[in-house]
Amino acid sequence: MPNDPQSPFVTSGIRLGTAAITTRGFMESETKILGNLICDVLDDIENEKNISSVKEKVLNLTSQFPVYSSDKKAVA
């Protein structure tokens, strides 16, 4: 982690890459939504109802940005 005073051998944070979401077409607004959803789970990690709710929101968000396009013009 940048500027982390801990040794590299001490797990003190989490680093998330953005290559997969930007490849799918996520912009800043969707990235903020995704970050907030991650925080929602981490803030209440034991709450299965909350996790299920966040999962539905993630599925809804990611369905707007398919990994593969079914549009043949986009492939050509």
Predicted confidence (pLDDT) per residue in 7-57, tens digit: 888 888 888 889 999 999 999 999 999 999 999 999 999 999 999 999 999
pTM reported for the whole predicted model: 0.74
- Report the 10 Å Cβ neighbour count for 61: 15
pLDDT at residue 69 greater than cutoff 80: no
φ, ψ for residue 37, nearest 5 deg: -65, -40
Distance from chain centroid for Cα 4: 23
- Residue 12, pLDDT score: 81
Distance from chain centroid for Cα 10: 24
